[in-house]
Structure 1
């Protein structure tokens, strides 16, 4: 009998993997909630019709059980280690607390959210982190030496609002997104100063969440954090000299479009998971009045026409990242389609789905949802949020919910938990890997601080060599 990938994953989990699930239930952080079976569950995954993208899980899908790290209630797998690298109101380098937020030099910002890592010429790197505050947002940076020591901290964007997530560009800058009805996208240099930052109104005016760039097609993809939101792309008309002096896409001239899934135009939404898990073709439609707040534009369009505005509805778009497959390693697809060169992964918190969009063949499918956890003993994910793809090919999804976990996604299969934070009342944000895959940075947005207020802390997780690229 020929096994599909879904069938093989189910066999592995419910066979040998079942014992691990039982053991997990005996060694878990507080707040871990079992997921019971629900009536009317979907058919088994290996019985679903249709095709799927040939995606595979990375090495972190093989991690073991979690154990208490002894750092701020963070649970991690055996062999991993974690340290706090920055806390709100503290100078990250000296560690000194500054209640006034300025007398002792730069202090780490409040409410750290989305982030990314940028390699430096000396072998070190910079981690940038958004500040999701209403009136004094922006972006902070942590500069690390090649040996991993923290050597500097400074701001690269100031006085913006609710900087939620964003995304790195191939030319080495950070796109920081404002999550407001009239939110915009700002570009800043991780090695520069706030004075270098520029705003890009052409990328749209809406509740921006995250951004990701496919340079080959001169395209920026964008998520919208709204229950009636859309999934966007901006197609640049050309190239310019970027704010860091490198060749960059022109983010001031281009066309902004929204995605429509076949059968779900004008605000349509596929609430049938069995259907959403099957590859469907997509098309792109021009955004109406792209210079105006899109929530208002949709409301006006509905009032005047009686139907939804162009685009499929995505329920609370969140994290977004592109996985690029190098030449010679691009999976082949049937029916004369182009090889799989690049896949856009994005999460939606309203329905806890992760989508995979095949850029070159214009097709999409849901590759994770909470039905994958039925019978595993794991609590369902609540408010999936930031997302990152590791250099080794692992898709990592952060959770806003009570459990505060980082999930290792197994496409169309049972996920693993990379870490969990047990101090509650916060959000797990900003996952980002160093270029060599040895370290993962993340934040607890309202995590513990030395000032007896929960305003945020940022951490570094070190991975054993077996889970880094080239370890096989």
Structure 2
């Protein structure tokens, strides 16, 4: 996900830029350092045959100048920014971001794709009756349906009139929860309604879900969600850009496992308190376990006067963390990611990424992974963002930084390999630039990888010997 307008990378000639974990791709390999139990990243997944050393081999230059892949892999462009939506509702919106692939009938796959448009979005999501929250919002989602042969059959607006739709997460009942990564209120940037909510999108019939904010789940700079499939609890991350940084939340729905629309019934929003730890970045040693984690009711989930992270949580305070982004359920626990922390931006300490595990049965929080650059890290290869579990049993990681942009694979043994490189130059021949990758996800049968390029908005389907 791109930083807000005016944000600048934190880098210098002698230090790697923010979240810089991966480096030296292609012929010279990739450098990354892990501290902790790497297997925790793949909790709840079955072991599978991983690609060999070096991954699937070197990337082969694409003669069409769109996407470099290893030999034996091929891609199909499903959708491109500015082209007509197959529904005829308008052009394909810009800023393609988080995405999910949900199973449909007769082998169909439903893709739901976020568009992280701000008030100045290049190509806004078309305003559609019954699907628009705020007609001045430029963001939203589009929904594509692919047949069992991978051909696009439908492409239409899933929700419109939202803002800065960054990531989100799928529900157990086959919908997508899209998250607004903003706190803008009505009257700001031309908006006619408050923003900073989660919305549910039904990929089969978007009019069934409509454009209803799930207000009880809080109004803040949402990033991602993960749902406990047994208890129905929804965990939420907050990617706040300025100190005090974001919180880690849980939402206790009144109707857990209720299906489409059930989250509108409300519930209780709580924030995590780690007793004695106001800032997670201060914790540096992997394996550190905190017991008796507390959950504190949010005083004002709608943040009518004060953003939630500024609110008074009582004598014990509340626990913050910089760049809370990814969130997923694995095994019997929820995992969430702090992508980086910088003390000169207000964090208690510096790190290049942490993965935390919360065990709801034991009420424990454990720091399981700390990322760090290997020695002498060079560009390109920085700022991992969206991640997903891969058919090999490892991970696929989208790059969001400077220089060349890649999708990287990560094996269970901690080996990093290039899976794809973007070739669409959005700069100049003298000073080339490439759009970040986002929304990587796999089809339910694990045979196709779907991924977006943020700019120019492009959705790819990649097939091959996964």
TM-score by length of 2: 0.72
Structure 1 residue 251 displacement after superposition: 4.8
Quick check: 1:368–1:411 contact (8 Å CA) kept in 2?
no
Structure-1 separation of matches of 2:140 and 2:452 = 16
Take 1:416 and 1:51, find their aligned partners in 2: how far apart are those partners?
A: 16
State how 1:171-186 maps to structure 2 within 5 Å.
171-181=173-183, 182-186=195-199
Which residue number in structure 2 is paired with residue 162 of structure 1? 164
- Deviation string for 1:303-340 (max 9, x for gaps)? xx8x9941x2221122222234xxxxxxxxxxxxxxxx
Contact 1:124 1:145 in 2 (8 A): yes
Note the 1:36-115 alignment, pairs <5 A: 45=35, 53=40, 55=42, 59-60=49-50, 62=52, 63-70=55-62, 71-91=64-84, 105-115=89-99
User: Taking structure 1 as reference, are residues 26 and 407 closer, same or farther at Cα in structure 2, changes over 3 Å only?
Assistant: closer
What is the match of residue 452 of structure 2?
443
- Does residue 287 (structure 1) correspond to residue 298 (structure 2)? The answer is yes
* 1:429 pairs with 2:422: no
Instruction: State the partner residue of 1:118.
Output: 102
1:319 to 302, 306, 326: 326
| Total equivalences in the alignment | 386
1:252 and 2:265 equivalent?
yes
Q: How far, CA to CA, are the matches of 1:213 and 1:348 in structure 2? A: 21
What whole-Å deviation, never above 9, does each CA across 1:95-148 have from its counterpart, x for those lacking one?
xxxxxxx9x554321111111011111111111101111232111011100111
Equivalent in the alignment of 2:204: 191
The 8 Å contact of residues 223 and 319 in structure 1, kept in 2 or not, is answered as yes
1:159–1:61 Cα change, 3 Å: same
Flag the structure with more relative contact order, 1 or 2, with Cα contacts below 8 A and sequence separation at least 6.
2
Aligned to 1:26, what secondary structure does the other structure show?
Answer: helix
What's the counterpart of residue 235 of structure 2?
Answer: 221
Please say which of residues 234-243 and 427-436 is displaced more in the overlay: 234-243
More helix by share: 1
Structure 1, unmatched stretches of 5+, are 1-20, 36-41, 94-101, 325-340, 448-455, 468-472
Is the CA contact 2:197–2:214 (under 8 Å) kept in the aligned structure 1? yes
Kindly tell me: are residues 130 and 191 of structure 1, through their superposed partners in 2, closer, same or farther at Cα, counting changes over 3 Å? Answer: same
Give the aligned CA root-mean-square deviation in angstroms.
3.6
Q: Does 1:298 align with 2:288?
A: no
Gaps of 5+ in 2: 1-21, 119-136, 184-194, 342-350, 426-432
Correspondences of 1:225-374 after superposition (within 5 Å):
225-227=239-241, 228-239=245-256, 242-243=259-260, 250-261=263-274, 263-264=276-277, 267-273=278-284, 275-276=285-286, 278-281=288-291, 282-292=293-303, 296-299=307-310, 301=312, 309-310=317-318, 312-324=319-331, 341-350=332-341, 351-359=351-359, 360-371=361-372, 373-374=373-374
* Superposition deviation, residue 362 in structure 1: 3.5
